[in-house]
A and B are shown apart, each in its own frame.
Chain A
Amino acid sequence: MDVDAVLLSRLQFAFTIAFHILFPTLTIGLACFLALVEGLWLRTKDTRWRDLYKFWVRIFALAFGMGVVSGIPMSFQFGTNFSTFSIATGNVLGPLLGYEVLTAFFLEASFLGIMLFGWKRVGPRLHFFATLMVAFGTTLSAFWILSANSWMQTPQGHIIDEAGIFHVASWWEVVFNPSFPYRLAHMVLATLLTTSFVVAAVSAWQVLTDRHGDTARKALKLAISAAAILAPLQLLAGDMHGLNTLEHQPVKVAAMEGNWESGPNIPLLLLAIPDEEAETNIFEIGIPNGASLILRHSADGVVPGLKDVPPEDRPPVAIVFYAFRIMVGLGMLMIAVAWLGVLLRKRLPRPYLWGLVAMAPTGFIATLAGWTVTEVGRQPFTVYGLMRTADSVSPQLTAPTVMTSLMLFAIVYNMVLAAFLYFAVRAVRKGPAPDTAPPPEPALSPHAHDHAAAGAE
């Protein structure tokens, strides 16, 4: 087997999935936000909610399109680049992905058409129903994909035959594997929190630059309140997820903590430079007993160390260690900013609003960092403890082939991302005004008057 093809396939998978996850992170949260504001509009008849819907649905449509086009390659990469893994785990993971498509993808893809293009063709109630179905579909897709991912982290409910192929003994145990509830809660909260900060940032900018201030203020208030509740909840969910990881993947926790020797009274390292060759940290700043306190809730709690397992079974320590600190650090910052907003709510000063604008990317960075912790922390395995990454790739692939496809993906995705950012920023600058000039043609359907009335504000 060609080692370079292994590494390149991993890089390609990491790159394409990291790129992809940015968009569901926004669209899951934004779909829920859109359902909320459309519901508020139907209930209160306050047209500012509808203006907000019409503004944010444009950002949503862009992000959703990006999620779809970057997601399709994912479902084929298991087969193209990781065929040995696919043969071994197809019996388990195939149906989970199949359920994702059947229950979630078709639902969201079908009703998205009505949500985006159906204003003139369906009544407001059916339109709201379409929005709800899209929000429900995006959340369901998170359910299935996280179940599949969690099974790779904490596999159970299977039997391995002599050919190394996984067979399912209990679907219930496979789907609801030990880390799944924590991972699902952590990810769904991440999408809601990321969206809250994106909505807050854009609204703050609109208030600062005096665009549609009244509507923007409504969104801002909603977003800050949501973040103030969600950010501490995320801390709680993350802590519970961490304890679950400690139970099932102790070596990953050791890498997150940068802890080499297992033992009691382990400090919480704020900063360190792990040295994998020397099996120690070159430099450490930490809080005494901190890790023991957090993970074991007692100063002399025993925390696992990396040396508990041989070097070939350890994940790349530095990546996991730093990514974890980035995630937690940004999480703390989010809590602080959200609560400051609640305290200041009467009159938000301009520096605070600019701070919110700067917070726009934090959710995405934290989410990527979190995924890095969980995925790199699972190495050197694809199915934790059972199947190695090196034994998962397609044996027949050569390095030049994968190098070419990786470069192709890198170039294409970066171009596409640049275009996405350009159009997203432009949509934000334009604000809630309709972005296409021609007014609707003469009435085409019985519901056309809804739109005409809506367009006459």
Chain B
Amino acid sequence: MELILIWTGVIAFGVAMYIIMDGFDLGVGILFPFARHEEWRDVMMDSIAPVWDGNETWLVLGGAGLFGAFPLAYATTLPALYVPLILFLVALVFRGIAFEFRHRAETSGWVWNLSFATGSVVAAFSQGLVLGSFVQGLPIENGQFVGTAMSFLTPFSLFTGVALVVGYALLGATWLVRKTEGELQDWAYGWAKALAVGLLAIIVAVSLWTPLMQAEIAARWFSMPNLVLLAPIPIVTAIVGLALLLALKARRETSPFMLSIGLFLLSYLGLAVSLWPYMVPRAITIWDAAAPPETQKFLLVGVALFLPLVLIYTVIVYRVFRGKVRHGEGYHH
């Protein structure tokens, strides 16, 4: 019993790490086409080049962890979300190759700019499609997906698609605020302000939409004593949102990125409250989906031993590459 709860926590942690870490580097890609010069694009790319690969590894951990600890959820969800997932994976290919190819391009630079920007937007959008159709609930009977390949496509999932593009762009913009200086930083501030307002509006919209869409979610939030117990989540979200706007206005350099991450984590927490205890919403609970204890235990030993080590590497790498990125500094060989 506790094992399943621990595993739910581990998967939730892995997914949160992925959303934040790949989120900001996808965000940099989303803002890429709007940069004023090629020189800015060099700096933007250099700011994430040493870390993007590690960031994306959290996605693979999420996939492998789900496969190992909750195989039923993995095997039910993935075929149901086939189309947006394939779209997502192909987009990641386009985006990932751009890091090396763009750097070496002499005349084909624009191809890799396009590949990087489009890949980032499509990856973020299709992740949002996956999220939205997942939250909405997949048509599942007896542990089998019974919808069609296009079941994922709904107004709500399209909206969450846009939501993630905006949200990741905000993470990207505040990351750039932190890592750059001068005109590029001014530009990033401008984007961050607009995107922060946009994301806050989206959070309000989703918070109203989900309880209207599903009575279970409305009951979770608006019944007593939950109403009182859960009230801190929206209140803190509002405070963090306000703090972010003020920090951007005051041109703080570090806190906007941290506050944007805070907004993501709070939205994520809100989502978790709405969906608990489902591994696949409204169809499979974490107890139904869990692998047998011997599998969960074996994998948990690895997590207990290696996850701290992974976090140490991450800290080392981010420390090595701390500070502002300047043009011409990032070339590697």
A residues touching B (Cβ–Cβ < 8 Å)?
54, 57-58, 61-62, 65-66, 68-73, 75-76, 78-81, 83-84, 86-87, 90-95, 97-103, 105-107, 109-114, 116-122, 167-168, 171, 394-398, 401, 405, 408-409, 412-413, 416, 419-420, 423, 426-427, 434-436, 438, 440-441, 444
Contact = CB atoms under 8 A, between A and B. Distances in A.
A100 B320 contact: no
Nearest to B69: A94
B13 to A, nearest CB: 13
Contacts of B292: 91, 167
Closest 8 A-B residue pairs measured CB to CB? A90-B71, A94-B68, A79-B78, A113-B50, A69-B96, A110-B313, A94-B67, A83-B75
Nearest to A100: B64
A72 B101 contact: no
Contact of A90 (B57, B67, B298): B67
Contacts of A70: 93
Nearest to A96: B68
Contacts of B83: 401
B85 interface: yes
A313 to B, nearest CB: 26
B306 A103 contact: yes
Given A57-B333, A79-B74, A102-B302, A441 B326 contact: yes
Contact of A434 (B316, B320, B333): B333
A106 B313 contact: yes
A419 B295 CA distance: 42
A167 B291 CA distance: 9
Given A80-B86, A121-B321, A95 B295 contact: yes
Contacts, number: 242
Nearest to A434: B333
Interface footprint category on B = 35 or more
Q: Name the residue among B49, B145, B333 with the largest chain A CB count within 10 angstroms.
A: B333
B100 A117 contact: no
A141 to B, nearest CB: 11
B50 A69 contact: no
B56 A72 contact: yes
B36 interface: no
A110 B316 contact: yes
A75 B78 contact: no
Contacts of B294: 91, 167-168
Nearest to A94: B68
B71 A91 contact: yes
A106 B313 CA distance: 8
B67 A102 contact: no
B79 A79 contact: yes
Nearest to B314: A110
Interface string B218-250: 000000000000000000000000000000000
B76 interface: yes
Interface in B310-331: 310, 313-314, 316-317, 320-321, 323, 326-331
Contacts of B61: 98, 101-102, 105-106
12 contacts: A90-B67, A90-B74, A90-B291, A102-B306, A106-B313, A107-B313, A113-B321, A116-B333, A397-B79, A426-B104, A436-B333, A438-B331
Given A97-B68, A118-B320, A86 B74 contact: yes
Interface of B: 49-51, 53-54, 56-57, 59-61, 63-69, 71-72, 74-80, 82-83, 85-86, 89-90, 92-94, 96-97, 99-101, 103-104, 144-146, 149, 291-292, 294-295, 298-299, 302-303, 306-307, 309-310, 313-314, 316-317, 320-321, 323, 326-333
Given A90-B67, A102-B302, A408 B86 contact: yes
A116 B332 contact: yes
Contacts of B75: 79, 83-84, 86-87, 90, 394
B170 to A, nearest CB: 24
A120 B332 CA distance: 9
A91 B295 CA distance: 6
Interface SS of chain A: helix, strand, loop or mixed?
A: helix
Contacts of B146: 396
A83 B56 contact: no
Given A87-B72, A440-B328, A95 B50 contact: no
Contact of A397 (B57, B65, B69, B82): B82
A62 B100 contact: yes
Contacts of B74: 79, 86, 90, 94
A168 B64 contact: no
Contacts of A103: 302, 306
A408 B90 contact: yes
A403 to B, nearest CB: 11
A391 to B, nearest CB: 13
A69 B85 contact: no
Contacts of A66: 97
A132 B71 CA distance: 34
Given A65-B99, A97-B67, A98-B69, 20 more contacts: A57-B333, A72-B56, A72-B59, A72-B92, A80-B82, A90-B67, A90-B291, A91-B295, A92-B295, A95-B295, A99-B302, A101-B61, A110-B316, A119-B332, A121-B321, A167-B292, A168-B294, A412-B93, A438-B331, A440-B329
